[in-house]
Structure 1
Amino acid sequence: MTRLLAWHDEWSLNIDVLDAEHRGLIEHLADICHRFGPEASPRRSGDAYALIDALSDLGEAVREHFKREEELMQTVGYEDIAEHRTEHALLMAEYTDQLRRWRAEGIDVFDEEAQDNARDWILDHILGADRDFAKAFHEIEDHLPAPDHPHDVEERSRLNAARRYP
């Protein structure tokens, strides 16, 4: 049975651009669950090619998100960016491997187990490593002098640019 997947405010990092992208990824996954879950109409579920295409599109959306996230980290000078990039690479390798297995199995219904795996794959990262980045991001922000203070203008400019990315 398909469980309704929706964004929850407690998942927010309080970084608007990342929260918007994360929300979009969750909505993308929810759409796949709705279109290809066990309760989907027979003309929607049961189409292995369409399901694999949809899952491939999700993987590409996540890959693009990771790229933009790393650009933000670079912009603000996040000191743990190398570890975060490594985690992104591992996550994409896991997803690629899972996608290959689903393709080999001829998956044509996105069942509860597959839904749970995909949901956990995204959420574990958001609620883990991304939370660590958000904490560092907000600490940088909190330690900046007042906007009219002449020191650290470059750092404030970087942070403001990060807020507007991409």
Structure 2
Amino acid sequence: MPAADLDDLDRAILRKLQEDSRTIAETIGAEVGLSAAAVQRRIKRLRASGVISREVAVLDPEAVGIGMTFVVTVEMERERLEVLDAFRKQARAEPAVQQCYYVTGSTDFVLVVNCRDMTEFEAFTRRMFFDNGEVRHFTTGVVMDRVKVGLTVPLNGC
């Protein structure tokens, strides 16, 4: 669904669902001025069109024993399509990789990685980087403080 097809009511519903996807249609409807049935129809359309791609539980990593977060920049040996695609596939398959971005500039990828501790991170680096002959260089930053973590999309622009 193109962004132009979203009206103000769709955006209001999406904002509410991004805050808490368990908010019931009656509550959303009361806030945006629609019936619960109309809200449910719109949510169904937003799901079917792919605007709502997934609905998940967001966990606190420390609460489940994942105490460390790393930001890793990766420079590949060659920028050939098959090399980039292979790394994308490897990153998607790796549970420790929370986010992976293919970027412009001096590096090729930026990863956000969660691990229990440094020992687990070292094992991760062996699998992802040292065992991959196409990785030229990687740099790791250890996250000191989770200042802001989110996946909400700004619906009124940046």
TM-score (norm 1): 0.26
Name which one, 1 or 2, has greater alpha-carbon Rg: 2
**Between structures 1 and 2, the one with greater strand share:** 2
Q: 1 or 2, which has the higher helix percentage?
A: 1
